[in-house]
Amino acid sequence: MSYVSTDMQESTEPRTEESSQEGLRRSIDPSQVGAERPSSRELARETVFQIQNLTAYYGKAPAISDVSFDIYGKTITAIIGPSGCGKSTFIRCLNRMNDVIPSFRSDGKILFHDVDLQGKDVDPVSVRRRIGMVFQRPNPFPKSIFDNVAYGLRILGMKDNLRDRVEHALKRAALWDEVNNRLKDSALALSGGQQQRLCIARAIAIEPDVILLDEPASSLDPIATASIEDLMHELKQDYTIVIVTHNMQQAARVANMTAFFSISGGEDGSRHGVLVEYDDTEKIFTNPSEKRTEDYVTGRFG
Amino acid sequence: MSDLTLTAKSLTSEHRRRRRIVNWAMEGLATLAALAAVALLVIVVGSVAKRGAGALDLDFFTKTPSFLGFGEQKSGIANAIVGTFIIVGLAVLMALPAGVLAAIYLNEFAPKRVASALTVAFDVLNGVPAIVIGIFVFVFLVAGHGQSGIKGAFALAILMLPLVTRSTQEVLALVPNAVREASLALGAPRWRTTLNVVVPMAVGGIITGATLATARVAGETAPLLFTSSLAGNTVSWNPSDPLASIPFFIFTSAEQADPSLQEQAWGAALVLITFVLVASIIARAFGLRSRRRLTGGR
C-alpha cells in the first residue's frame, strides 16, 4: 500500500502559491525523484539545529542513541517511526523539556544557532522561550481563552499591546474567527481541535523561533487534524517547525524533511531508538536509501 | 479445565443460589455499617441538640459566665466563643501558610526520596496525641512564662500542620502534569508555574483541607489544658492573656454539680458542633468548585 496518495494531498493542502518546495511536495511521483530539482536541504536558508551524536538516557538505559542530523530553518521537519523509538524523547531534548524528568541525562551536542543547548551557562527557561512546544494532548490552562494566550506574554513581560498580541496570535493560529466573541470563556469549553489550536496560539504568542509539535493531532479527528496541518503550512513561512508524528500520511503531507527513527537492539539486549535515515520527505517515502525505512513506509514493519 | 466447562447444570446448580445469598449478605453488611455511621452522627448531634438547645438564647452568646450567682443570674459563654475564635484564628494563620508551603515544596520541588521521607515525618506528626503536643508546648513555652492564647494557638497549629500539608499535597498531586509542562514550555520558571498555574488550580481543594483541619482542631481540648486554661470570666481579646475556649468550657462545666451549668456545657457543645458542621459544608462547596475547575465544568 502506498502511503503517499496524490489525491489525499490535493484535498488537504492549502491552495497557496508558494515556493518551489511547495510544488515539490505536492506531486510526489517516484519517476521524478532524483531529477534535477533542488532538495529542501539545498533550499534551506540556514541550519537551526545541529544535532551531534546525541544519546539520551532515562535512568541507565539509553532511549535514543547516537543521533546526528541538521534541522533547517523555515522548514517543516517530521520525525517518524514506530512506538518506543524515542521520537518524543528526541523532540523534548530540543527545548530541554527533559530537564523536568529527574532521571534524564544526555551525551552529545545539540547546537542551536551554533550555541550548545546543554551548555552550563544556558538557561533552560530562556531556551524554552525561544523554542516553543505543543504537546500530544491539548493542555490549555483552566483559564479564559484570552488568559491562556496572554499567559506567556505576561510571564515574559511582553505586556505592551497585550490585546493586539493575543488577537494576532489567535489569528495566526486560525482560531480568532471562532472565539473572538467569547475570549472571556473558559478554554476548557472549546473542542479538542480548538484547544490544540489555542495551544499553538499560546506558543506563537511569545514569538519563538522554533515550534516543536509532539504528535499534535494524535488526539484529534480528521477535520481538526486537517486544520492543524493547514496551519503548519501557514506558520512554516515564519517559523522552523519540528513535528513528531506516527501518522505517515501526515508526515508526507506536511513535511519538507523527514527523519525516520527506529528501534535497535544493543549487544546486551537493550533496545533504544536510532536515526535510520534523514532526507527530503519525498525521497524517504518514494525512494529511501535504507531497507528499514522502506519496510516502514510501505507498511511491512511497525 | 473440566470445572469451567459450561453445562446446563453449572448454570442452574445450587452454587448459584449460594452465590446469591453470599452476595446479598455482603451487601447487607456493608449497607448496615454505613447506616450505623450515619446513625451515630444523628444520635450524637440529636442528643446534644436536645440537651443543649435549652441553654441557647441571646444571653448565652453575649454574656460571660457568673459562677457566683448559682443559676439565678443568666450567664453565657461569650468569652469562650471569642477565645476560641482568636485561638483557632491564630492557629490557622500559623499552620496554613507553613502547611501549604511545605506541601508545595514536597510536591513541586523536593527530590522524590526527600519527599517520601518528609511525608512519613508528617504522618508521624499527625499521629502524635494532642495531649503530648500540649505538654510539649507547656514544657518549652508555658512553664516559667505563663499561659497565653497565642501559646494555645501554637499548640493547635502543630496539630493542624500535618493535616493541612497532607491534604494540600493530595490536591497538588491531582493537578495534571501536562499543565505544568505547558507552562514550562512557555518559558515560565518553575516557581511562576507553581504560583500562576498549579496553586490556582488547586486552591479550592487547599481551602477544603484547611477548613476541615480548622474544624478538627477547634474542638481540641487537651492542648489548651496546659496552654490557655487559666482564663478569667471576662471577654478578652488579648492573645497574650490566657483565653477561654469552648472546648475547655465544656470540659469544666460538664463536671459541675449545678444542672444549669451542665445544660450550658451541652449548649456550648451544640455551638461547637454547629461551627464544625458549617465549616464542613463550606469546605464541601469549595471542594466542588475546585473539582469543576479541574475538569472544566463537565
pLDDT of A26 above 50: no
Q: Which residue from B minimizes the CA distance to A206?
A: B186
The whole-number average pLDDT for the span A41-60 is 84
Contact yes or no for A151 and B186 at CB 8 A: yes
pLDDT of residue B107: 94
Cα of B172 to nearest chain A Cα, Å: 15
Question: A19 pLDDT band (50/70/90 cuts)?
Answer: very low
Contacts of B192 in chain A (CB under 8 A): 155
Query: Is B297 in CB contact (< 8 Å) with chain A?
Result: yes
> Which of the pair, B298 or A200, is modelled with greater confidence?
A200
Give the CB-side neighbour count of residue B237, counting CA atoms within 13 A.
0
Query: Is B187 in CB contact (< 8 Å) with chain A?
Result: yes
The whole-number average pLDDT for the span B151-161 is 95
The whole-number average pLDDT for the span A287-292 is 90
Mean pLDDT computed over every residue of chain A: 83
pLDDT of B138 above 60: yes
Interhelix angle A192-205/A222-236, rounded to 10 degrees, is: 20
pLDDT of B69 above 80: no
Three cell numbers written together for A203: 506558543
Contacts of B182 in chain A (CB under 8 A): 135, 139-141, 199, 202
Query: Is B186 in CB contact (< 8 Å) with chain A?
Result: yes
Number of H helices and E strands in chain A, helices first, is 13, 10
Which of residues 119 through 138 in chain A touch B, CB cutoff 8 A? Answer: 125-126, 128-130, 132-133, 135, 137
Contacts of A128 in chain B (CB under 8 A): 184-187
Query: Is A273 in CB contact (< 8 Å) with chain B?
Result: no
Contact yes or no for A152 and B111 at CB 8 A: no
Question: B73 pLDDT band (50/70/90 cuts)?
Answer: low
Q: Which of A126, A129, A141 is closest, CB to CB, to B179?
A: A141
pLDDT of B156 above 90: yes
Question: B294 pLDDT band (50/70/90 cuts)?
Answer: low
The whole-number average pLDDT for the span A66-78 is 92
Query: Is A287 in CB contact (< 8 Å) with chain B?
Result: no
The whole-number average pLDDT for the span B177-202 is 92
Dihedral of alpha carbons A47, A52, A58, A61, sign = positive
Query: Is A152 in CB contact (< 8 Å) with chain B?
Result: yes
Whole-number Cα distances in Å, A50 to A148, B58, B107, B174 = 32, 80, 36, 38
Decide: helix, strand or coil at residue A23.
helix
Contacts of A137 in chain B (CB under 8 A): 178
Question: A41 pLDDT band (50/70/90 cuts)?
Answer: low
End-to-end Cα spacing for chain A: 14
pLDDT of B297 above 70: no
pLDDT of residue B108: 93
pLDDT of A80 above 60: yes
pLDDT of residue A29: 44
Nearest 10 degrees: Cα torsion B97, B102, B104, B105: 140
Question: B12 pLDDT band (50/70/90 cuts)?
Answer: low
pLDDT of A10 above 60: no
Contact yes or no for A100 and B201 at CB 8 A: no
Which of residues 255 through 294 in chain B touch A, CB cutoff 8 A? Answer: 293-294
Q: Is there a contact between A211 and A152 (Cβ–Cβ < 8 Å)?
A: no
Q: Which residue from A minimizes the CA distance to B109?
A: A100
Per-residue pLDDT of A91-121, as tens digits, reads 999 999 998 888 899 999 999 998 999 888 8
The whole-number average pLDDT for the span B161-172 is 95
Query: Is B174 in CB contact (< 8 Å) with chain A?
Result: no
Mean pLDDT computed over every residue of chain B: 87
Please report the DSSP string for A220-240 in residue order: S-HHHHHHHHHHHHHHHTTSE
Cα of B95 to nearest chain A Cα, Å: 28
Residue A268 DSSP label = T
Q: Is there a contact between A144 and A183 (Cβ–Cβ < 8 Å)?
A: yes
Q: Is there a contact between A177 and A146 (Cβ–Cβ < 8 Å)?
A: no
Contact yes or no for B182 and A141 at CB 8 A: yes
Q: Which percentage of chain A shows pLDDT scores above 90? A: 49
The whole-number average pLDDT for the span A226-240 is 88
pLDDT of B16 above 80: no
Question: A20 pLDDT band (50/70/90 cuts)?
Answer: very low
Q: Which of A129, A135, A140 is closest, CB to CB, to B187?
A: A129
Cα-to-chain-centroid distance, residue A146: 25
For residue A243, how many other CB atoms are within 10 A of its CB?
27
Q: How many CB pairs under 8 A join A and B?
A: 74
Alpha-carbon gap, residue B110 to B118, rounded angstroms: 10
Cα of B294 to nearest chain A Cα, Å: 7
Question: A158 pLDDT band (50/70/90 cuts)?
Answer: confident
Per-residue pLDDT of B238-271, as tens digits, reads 888 888 899 999 998 888 888 888 888 999 999 9
pTM over 0.90: no
* Cα–Cα nearest to B49, from B266, B261, B201: B266
Q: Is there a contact between A34 and A279 (Cβ–Cβ < 8 Å)?
A: no
Alpha-carbon gap, residue B108 to A258, rounded angstroms: 37
| Residue indicated by cell numbers 486544520 | A227
The whole-number average pLDDT for the span A2-6 is 42
> Which of the pair, B201 or B235, is modelled with greater confidence?
B201
pLDDT of residue B258: 81
The whole-number average pLDDT for the span B35-57 is 91
Q: Is there a contact between B165 and B122 (Cβ–Cβ < 8 Å)?
A: yes
Contacts of B181 in chain A (CB under 8 A): 97, 100, 135, 139
Contacts of B188 in chain A (CB under 8 A): 125, 151-152, 155
Residue A159 DSSP label = -
Cα of B289 to nearest chain A Cα, Å: 13
Radius of gyration of chain B from its Cα atoms, rounded to whole angstroms: 25
Q: What residues are paired with A186 via a beta bridge?
A: A144
Query: Is A190 in CB contact (< 8 Å) with chain B?
Result: no
Three cell numbers written together for B137: 508546648
Cα of A172 to nearest chain B Cα, Å: 17
pLDDT of B296 above 70: no
Please report the DSSP string for chain B in residue order: -GGG---HHHHHSHHHHHHHHHHHHHHHHHHHHHHHHHHHHHHHHHHHHHHHGGG-SHHHHHS---STTTTSS----HHHHHHHHHHHHHHHHHHHHHHHHHHHIIIIIS-HHHHHHHHHHHHHHHHS-HHHHHHHHIIIIITTT---HHHHHHHHHHHHHHHHHHHHHHHHHHS-HHHHHHHHHTT--HHHHIIIIIHHHHHHHHHHHHHHHHHHHHT--HHHHHHS----SS----TTS----HHHHHHHHTT-S-HHHHHHHHHHHHHHHHHHHHHHHHHHHHHHHHHHHHHTT-
Alpha-carbon gap, residue A154 to B196, rounded angstroms: 11
The whole-number average pLDDT for the span B111-127 is 94
Contacts of A153 in chain B (CB under 8 A): none
pLDDT of A23 above 50: no
Is the confidence metric ipTM above 0.85 for this complex? no
Alpha-carbon gap, residue B220 to A149, rounded angstroms: 48
